[in-house]
Amino acid sequence: MPRKKTQRGSEVVLAQRILRLNNSDLAEAIAEDSRTCYPTDQPSKPLQIEAVILLVRLKNTFAMAGTGFGKSRIPEMYVHLFAKSSKPVVLVLNPLDALGNNQVQEKMAQNFTAVNLKKLTFNQCVSDEILRGAYNFVYLSPEIFLNNEMFTKLYFNTKFQERLVLTVVDEAHMIYSWGLVASGKAKKSSAHKRHQDKALFRPLYGDMGRRSLKSADNLLEMFGPQDQIPNKSLPPTLVYSGTQNTTLQVMKVINQARGTPTGEFNPNSTLIRRYHSCTGDLDKEDTVKGFEKKDFPMISCTMALGLGQNWKRVRRVFHMGCGDPLCICQMMGRCGRDSKPGLAFLFMEPKRRFGINKIEAVTKANKQMDNTRMDCLAITPMCLRIAFSMDNLYGYIPTNRDDPNYMKEEQREINEGFPLCKCSNCAPKEAEMLQKKMSVMDIDNFEALLDQPESFSDPKLVPKKKRRAGGHKNHTKAPEELTNELAAVLVVEFKNFFCEKYGTATSSLPEEHFAELEAENVAERLNNIQGAEEIKDLIGGKTINAELEMLYNCVVNFQKDC
């Protein structure tokens, strides 16, 4: 929404030569002015130009377009019409603090100055810089905008109002969640918890968060071993989950599938890294830059990163657990933003406890409630592309083809020449084949596998080796007479070792640390013991310094004598 300004005083206004143009000439001027700012193969779109014209005419403007359309360019094109020396300021409201980081980097890449105001970084010094016009774009969250006393003083300062040329509300459909503090829902909201990545989304689907997926093991079959597909050949992927623990569990499962156990703890992993509020600002910056430079192909993150980034190289998206359908639709839009095909996997529970698990039960429920929408998304047999569109337009997920709104949207897609939908409801057999062959997917065969999954052979799944109940490797058992003799020797040797080390201590006895049971465990593995560490596992851990070495020497000497 642009501020209505006059040419009095020191207010920042557009030049009269621009204001006097008619809409046709103004459209040409806007297109020409923005041509030097963007690549030649990405010219300004008619809808972008139309929105800028409305802003020039001081009209409040709503821009509704799909993810990847380029809505963030509209304020850039508008600000570029002002004289740079006038230092215009655009205020951008994001649902969360974390969402502004990526957009600040984008604006700086376009030679604009930008800052993301956070609770811990917004101080009087930054406020003074904004007042002087040091930043063209100021990003902040509703928490700062509504509840920060310092920003309130800045916002109503006359000098700031003179520089303010535009206020942008990003993700405007979520404005209603701002009122949670004043309503009773605030008690169930995590908006004031430490993990701000979750603050926006829990209120939007109520108690559904308690019924999210319990495990990320579903990802195991999605990735092949590293010796078959190198990390650099994997399609760029984002894996969304809702909590700090789940983001780490996702990394653990993917590393397990790739044959690189404990790789989730490698900060320089060339496979997958994490983006979460707990990782810190510097680590977040390293993760974003590393992904942009193609140092690694995957990020395990929460939805905050999904709403804040505009990467064009992302080809796959995995969404774990529950969430608002509208937010899930936005996460799906993170892939395929370069006009190439994208692939989105939504992991749903087959049966939701206390949820709606049959289509017949939907008629008795309120379709527009958050929990009902998520349940309907999991069970609907309708086209998912139309379902998400209807959720955006009417606030519910269709479950019946006779729905008038469904029929209307279906006909609209036909009239507009939409390509055939390939979702799992429209093409179930192809989707099932694709899921089975996901482990062989790489950058080179990505589109071919999407178009013709039947032309690829099923991957050879290596059966897992069953572990023994005790967790130990197979071993050959020594003869009973030898094990009995060795067990007796070990007990005597440990008693002598203990007495030499502690004397005749009365507070602790040798039998409390090593007795017949531990000695028998060691003696039974006489033919398989290769080092002191194996003895540690057999006796339940080391309790005394040099104990393991002493016992291992006894075993070695006994083997020699045999």
Question: What are the tens digits of pLDDT across the range 233-275?
Answer: 999 999 988 777 788 889 999 999 999 988 888 989 999 999 8
Contact call for residues 73 and 38 (beta carbons, < 8 A): yes
Could you give the CA distance from residue 224 to residue 218 in angstroms, rounded to a whole number?
13
Domains (range + CATH), the chain: 16-170 (3.40.50.300), 210-453 (3.40.50.300), 480-561 (no CATH)
Residue with tokens 């130990």: 472
Lateral strand order in the sheet of 316-320:
272-275, 298-301, 237-240, 316-320, 343-347
Could you give the CA distance from residue 250 to residue 217 in angstroms, rounded to a whole number?
8
Question: How sure is the predictor about 414, in pLDDT bands with cuts at 50, 70 and 90?
Answer: very high
Q: State residue 194's pLDDT score.
A: 30
Q: State residue 125's pLDDT score.
A: 93
Mean pLDDT value across residues 278-287: 80
Q: Which of 552, 105, 487, 51 is nearest to 284 (CA)?
A: 105
Mean pLDDT value across residues 21-27: 93
Here the tokens at position 278 are 């707990």
Between the ranges 59-68, 91-100, 267-276, 508-517, where is the mean pLDDT highest? 267-276
Q: Which of 401, 413, 451 is nearest to 430 (CA)?
A: 451
Question: How sure is the predictor about 491, in pLDDT bands with cuts at 50, 70 and 90?
Answer: confident
Angle formed at CA 12 by CA 10 and CA 14, multiple of 5 degrees: 130
Between the ranges 125-129, 215-219, 348-352, 549-553, where is the mean pLDDT highest? 125-129
Contact call for residues 190 and 199 (beta carbons, < 8 A): yes
Could you give the CA distance from residue 237 to residue 98 in angstroms, rounded to a whole number?
20
Please tell me whether residue 362 adopts helix, strand or coil conformation.
Answer: helix
Written as one letter, the residue type at 262 is T
Here the tokens at position 173 are 């459909």
- Cα end-to-end span (Å), the chain: 91
Percent of the chain with pLDDT over 70: 80
Q: Which of 52, 54, 93, 96 is nearest to 74 (CA)?
A: 52
H-assigned helices in 22-89: 23-35, 46-56, 73-79
Judge residue 313's burial from the number of C-beta atoms within 10 Å of its C-beta, 0-12 exposed, 13-18 middle, 19 or more buried. Answer: middle
Mean pLDDT value across residues 387-393: 86
Contact call for residues 345 and 222 (beta carbons, < 8 A): yes
Q: Which of 190, 442, 200, 446 is nearest to 305 (CA)?
A: 200
- Greater model confidence, 166 or 515: 166
Residue with tokens 């599938």: 257
Helix axes 404-415, 384-394, angle to 10 degrees: 110
Contact call for residues 45 and 70 (beta carbons, < 8 A): yes
Percent of the chain with pLDDT over 90: 26
pLDDT of residue 389 exceeding 50: yes
